[in-house]
Structure 1
Amino acid sequence: MARLGDISFLNCAPLRWGLADSGAGAELDVRSGPPEWLADELLAGRLDISPVSLARYLGQADELVLLPGPAIGSDGPVRSCHLVSRGPLEELDGRVVALSEVSRTTALLARLLLEDLVGVRPVYRRAPQNVGEMLGSAQAAVVIGDDALRLRTRTPEGLRVFDTGELWRSWTGLPMVFAVWAVRRDYALAHPDRVRAVRDALTDAVRRARAAPAAVAASAALESARGPGGALPEEVLLDYFRVLDYSLGDRQLASIREFARRTEARGEVPPGVRPLPPTTFVDTPVTASPSVPGGRQ
């Protein structure tokens, strides 16, 4: 039985619903947690396949193989990955920007946007994700996940919310990929059939969720009610799941290449991470060499 990671945010609620609807979830050992914890568990060998942040995947591409099929992104606004500021982004030069400790891709994306698009050089500080505390000592903050979704829904007076997915799309013309599913390279070599089965189960889960948006939103609303921020309205979740993009096609791969190029130029990811081809490793032989898709040259 494959040990499968599951991001405990609402962005994976449609996949949880789809896996339950198909019954495939019962055939998997599913373990939930925040993205950084999942990446640590995957790299430590305690998970076999898991969603991980794009930045974490790029940084560990010699140990991980990209799972084709699912991803988490948006082709425009994403609703749950934000730069939150007390004023215009152009006023952040030299000011403190708090970066959520649970975010890696959005924190790196925010730095790209601020420095290369807006043209400011803030001072960055990592901090636990608590918006009130973050903004108590900073002019702006990077916030992700359910907290960001709630913040967009109920924005406190005096704050501005800048959607990083929307900013990336307007800047590059590309969708933004925030997380991908990755497989430990040794596991992919040893169990290709299991990897194919998980790929197919996740792809089917997305299809089922897309075909039943009202049921998914109702289930996610109940899930959100168990969180510290209280229940989110079903109409908010319907809109959220409508804009989330779970595909990993040619445009998403082009975006990953562009993000890797920009971050490598800044020394944020290791050099030599190859651009990903549009083919899928599960349908072609996997070798032990790190020259397979996603590996380093």
Structure 2
Amino acid sequence: MSLKIGEINYTNIMPMFFYLNRTELVNRGFIFEQATPSELNNKMSAGLVDVGGISSFEYARNPDEYMILPELSVSSIGSVGSIFMFSKKEASELNNSSIALTSSSATSVHLLKLIMSHYFKVKPSYTTETPSLEKMLESHDACLLIGDDAIRASWKMDETLYKYDLGKLWYEWMQVPMTYALFAVRKKAAEAYPESLQYLFEEFHRSKLLNMERSFDELTQHIKHNIGGEEKFWIEYFQQLHFGLTNEHITGLNNFFDLLAKDKYINSAENIKLWAPIKTDFSNRVDIT
């Protein structure tokens, strides 16, 4: 038996999965489990999945359960391009208004609540719904969509709507990166399968670096074929994302966790606990993130 890997089929996390040697991983006993971000959070929390890209909110909620794999994340310094609030009004006018939240997310939902409360200083009401731009806005003043749902909605949105990129709003407010997903492993799994985890960690890094070295060309073609959109859009989309985990990213996470604790979404803000690789010289390529 080996590790069960949680995999989210959103484009923003694909750089770490696209070039995985899946055949070798399966031969070594790894199992892939497909899930939405919120589903993966629940499965990781319940111990049904061992390792994967969980929301930073899930880590903040259960820090004692996980260790974070170093130098891996889905982050942005400014616009993220796939986490949008669509609104019939300007954000500053949404006090006492109704916002529909996607059921697919945890980090983005709480990030929006923090931004609305502390940055725009308004207090709307929130309802969680299945992600659909048209249906959400039938009975609400605004809605939050993430990932490919948000991207597709941005392509077909009514021009009268306001569109807010949460990564851009966070950076305007805090001047630090926002990290949406962290690559986490359950502590018990890390202790039970250290060599398997090392191999998977190296594979995640290899996939990330190959995508960066190839300017995301093959990944872009794959996504264009399966999702649609223009090649220029996808190239720019990946170029604005960050996939590392620097000290600056951790500072941004600590700010996020402090705000979550202040508003009582989590019990307390804990420092990031990084997993220590068995070896660190597995690649002589420079990680430019």
TM-score (norm 1): 0.87
Change (3 A) 1:241 1:137: same
Identity %: 23
Change (3 A) 1:248 1:26: farther
Question: How many Å separate the matches in 2 of 1:177 and 1:244?
Answer: 10
- Tell me which residue corresponds to 2:276: 282
Deviation at 1:219, TM superposition (A): 1.1
Residue-by-residue CA offset, 1:24-59 (whole Å, 9 max, x unaligned) = 676542222201111222233322101111111111
SS across alignment from 1:267:
coil
Q: From 179, 192, 195, give the equivalent of 1:177.
A: 179
Contact 2:67-2:187 at 8 Å conserved across structures = yes
Residue-by-residue CA offset, 1:159-196 (whole Å, 9 max, x unaligned) = 11100001101111111101111111111122222222
Change (3 A) 1:100 1:201: same
- Tell me which residue corresponds to 1:227: none
Q: Is the deviation greater in 8-17 or in 236-245?
A: 8-17
Query: Where do 1:157-172 residues align within 5 Å?
Result: 157-172=159-174
Q: From 56, 59, 76, give the equivalent of 1:57.
A: 59
Count of aligned pairs between the two proteins: 275
- Tell me which residue corresponds to 2:17: 16
Question: How many Å separate the matches in 2 of 1:26 and 1:90?
Answer: 54
Query: Where do 1:98-177 residues align within 5 Å?
Result: 98-177=100-179
Question: How many Å separate the matches in 1 of 2:71 and 2:169?
Answer: 25
- Tell me which residue corresponds to 2:31: 29
Deviation at 1:20, TM superposition (A): 4.7
**Mind listing any 5+ residue stretches in structure 1 that lack a counterpart?**
225-230, 285-297
Q: What amino acid does structure 2 have at the position aligned with 1:282?
A: A
1:214 aligns with 2:214: no
Deviation at 1:283, TM superposition (A): 4.0
Question: How many Å separate the matches in 1 of 2:251 and 2:150?
Answer: 26
Contact 1:24-1:201 at 8 Å conserved across structures = no
Q: What amino acid does structure 1 have at the position aligned with 2:162?
A: R
Contact 1:79-1:152 at 8 Å conserved across structures = no
Deviation at 1:123, TM superposition (A): 1.0
Q: What amino acid does structure 1 have at the position aligned with 2:39?
A: W
1:41 aligns with 2:43: yes
Question: How many Å separate the matches in 2 of 1:74 and 1:93?
Answer: 28
Change (3 A) 1:189 1:180: same
Change (3 A) 1:93 1:209: same
Contact 1:76-1:166 at 8 Å conserved across structures = yes
Question: How many Å separate the matches in 1 of 2:70 and 2:175?
Answer: 22
Contact 1:13-1:220 at 8 Å conserved across structures = no
Contact 1:95-1:122 at 8 Å conserved across structures = yes
Contact 1:20-1:26 at 8 Å conserved across structures = no
- Tell me which residue corresponds to 1:262: 259
Change (3 A) 1:215 1:131: same
Q: CA RMSD in A?
A: 1.9
Change (3 A) 1:198 1:97: same
Query: Where do 1:73-88 residues align within 5 Å?
Result: 73-88=75-90
Q: What amino acid does structure 1 have at the position aligned with 2:262?
A: A
TM-score (norm 2): 0.89
Q: What amino acid does structure 2 have at the position aligned with 1:30?
A: F
- Tell me which residue corresponds to 1:245: 242
